Structure 1
Amino acid sequence: MSEATGLHLGTEKAAGNRPASCRVPSRRTNGVVVQVVASDGRLLNPCHPARARELIRKQRAIRSCRQPYTIRLLPLQSDDAETLPSQQADS
């Protein structure tokens, strides 16, 4: 090693092997997510609990299981299907 690069005493930390107490917390540190099942039974990506509450309140989903908390999306209604393409055309 040359003196221009400096000492590399903390190479473990520089390589990303930091202890858990030094790591930058992620957005979902508490791990609270809601499992989502499509209307045909396929598993979808989990969502945030606030999004799940919004879907249930708008009657687009129902709670299918308490532990782990899971919602099932309801099939699109005919009036929802008609408004969906027009909303995409405006964007």
Structure 2
Amino acid sequence: MADKVYQLPYDSELDQDIHNWLEKLPRSRKAEFVRNAIRFYLQATGETPNPVVLATNVIQPVTQAKDEQSIKKKRPSLPKDGNL
């Protein structure tokens, strides 16, 4: 299989949403994320019958870490005699 390289020019001011998204991605994973975004678009518009296969090792939002910490909190111990 031959590798192809496609340059995607964009204006960092007009396409600021795209620019910000690309800047957040790790350099080694940018191409993978762009390919997945294109596949997602093709699937959403019905232009391809193939299912979207996204990477499982993705950047996780900071809010997930807060949720994990709240899950680890212990419940308060309640008295065993039935009085609250």
TM-score range with shorter-chain normalisation? under 0.3
**TM-score relative to the length of structure 1:** 0.23
Structure having greater relative contact order (Cα 8 Å, sep ≥ 6): 1
Q: Which has the higher helix share?
A: 2
**TM-score relative to the length of structure 2:** 0.25
Query: Which of the pair has more CA radius of gyration?
Result: 1
Q: Which has the higher strand share?
A: 1
